Amino acid sequence: MNNLFVVRTPLQLLSAYILAYSQGSPNYNHLMLLNPRGEELWHKGYCVNKMSTDTGVWGKITMCRHRIVRRSEIRQIKKRLADMRSELSAHGDVDMVYLGADREFDNQLLVQLAGKSSYARFDDGVWSYSSPEQSFLQKLEFLLWAKFVHLYSRFPNTMTYNLRSGGYGKAAVADYLFKPELLQRYSPQAVAIDRKAIHAALDSLTQGMQTDERMEGRNSIIFLGSTHVDKKLIERGCEETVLEGLYRLANEAKIQLVYKPHPFENKEKLAYYRQNMPAIYFADFADPIEILVYKYSKIQAMLAYSSSGLLYADVFARQNIKSIALFDLYPVKEKDPYLKNILKAANVSIPIEFDNLVSIMRNL
């Protein structure tokens, strides 16, 4: 089969790479990278760079640096669609398009530009399993924009668009997931990505990856940074308090506390944390956390306010590892019920008080 994988984020790239690696011959897999933020994202980490350039896995690799259609450039719509169809023709006749997310208009448009009216989905984290539905106005806005693009460009619409939310597209024929048992929505066909296949792909992927001696030689717990403080969803002081408490617990257990920054976390905040909490090891890994828990067998726990990485720790790691979501320790009024439900279903620990966290940490 001649397959096209459409990717927007490093996590989607990891999912697509593992799936394509596991399929192997006689499948012929192509990669299309979509990222309006620019090309830099695909070259930040050793493994991300390798996944986005590996010609042993990908037949043809295409990078789209801009959105296919923009509302600010309506007169360019016809040309952009024609250019993209020409670009896609280089992949040959596509048998299946794989999407990391089917809520994006550009992604759904790409399916039709590739000559298909259906697609398969692959794992995109929490929202692949359950996601809040769009409001009526959001659905209406999406529908009107889709109709306008097709009418203006005279490009026929051959597929039912997904107006609801991620994972609800009626044109989807299958979901390839790391943990299909966690699904809280309908799937036409839920397929588990085999754990052996995941580890085989990661074993190949991490060959040649530089080893961090501190991570290799010491028992560790990892705190995953986020942009929640930057977006003012939580106070910096609250996060500092949690980090200081975690360090005391880790120090008591003679375990190293590692802070893994988020790719888009505020640099000034990180500099402040480094200066004021020098005992914490700030590891600037640009690769997805799933790769790190596979590579470093002495990681004993992973903690975050919330993260898709918490769902998969036991799938990617070769050792026993504990996943802990910390959002109930923060004084946030509105907490996402979808996120909490999916984390509970994945057996992620969710302490409601710091004493609960103390008990969990002491039983690692």
pLDDT tens for each residue of 207-263: 999 999 999 989 999 999 988 888 888 888 888 888 999 998 888 888 999 999 988
Whole-Å CA distances, 94 to 31, 128, 150, 312: 12, 24, 21, 31
pLDDT (0 to 100) of residue 37: 64
Quote the number of domains for the chain. Answer: 2
My answer on whether 281 and 303 are in the same domain is yes
- pLDDT of residue 291 exceeding 70, the answer is yes
Same domain, 225 and 347: yes
Say if residue 334's pLDDT is above 90. Answer: no
Residues of the domain holding 161: 2-205
DSSP 274-313: HHH-TTSEE----S-HHHHHHH-TTEEEEEESS-THHHHH
The reply to whether 338 and 199 lie within a common domain is no
For residue 349, give the DSSP letter. Answer: B
Element (H, E) at 259: strand 256-260
Gap between the Cα atoms of 306 and 126, Å rounded:
10
pLDDT of 253: 86
Question: Does one domain contain both 105 and 246?
Answer: no
The tokens describing 110, both together, are 């790409």
Residue carrying the six token digits 């930040």:
44
200 and 217 part of one domain: no
Same domain, 107 and 218: no
Buried (b) or exposed (e) across 127-146, using 16+ Cβ within 10 A?
Answer: bbbbbeebeeeebeebeeeb
**% of the chain at pLDDT higher than 70:** 97
Residues 298-321 have a mean pLDDT of 92
Query: In this structure, what CATH number is given to the domain that contains residue 305?
Result: 3.40.50.2000
Q: Are residues 144 and 27 in the same domain?
A: yes
Note whether 227 and 201 are same-domain residues.
no
CATH of the domain at 197: 3.40.50
Which of 157, 185, 205 is the endpoint of a domain? 205
> Could you report the per-residue pLDDT of 169-194, keeping only the tens digit for each?
999 999 999 999 999 889 999 999 99
Distance CA 91, CA 3 (A): 9
Higher per-residue pLDDT: 130 or 2:
2
67 and 36 in contact (C-beta within 8 Å)? yes
323 and 249 part of one domain? yes
**Range from 11-20, 96-105, 229-238, 329-338 carrying the lowest mean pLDDT:** 329-338
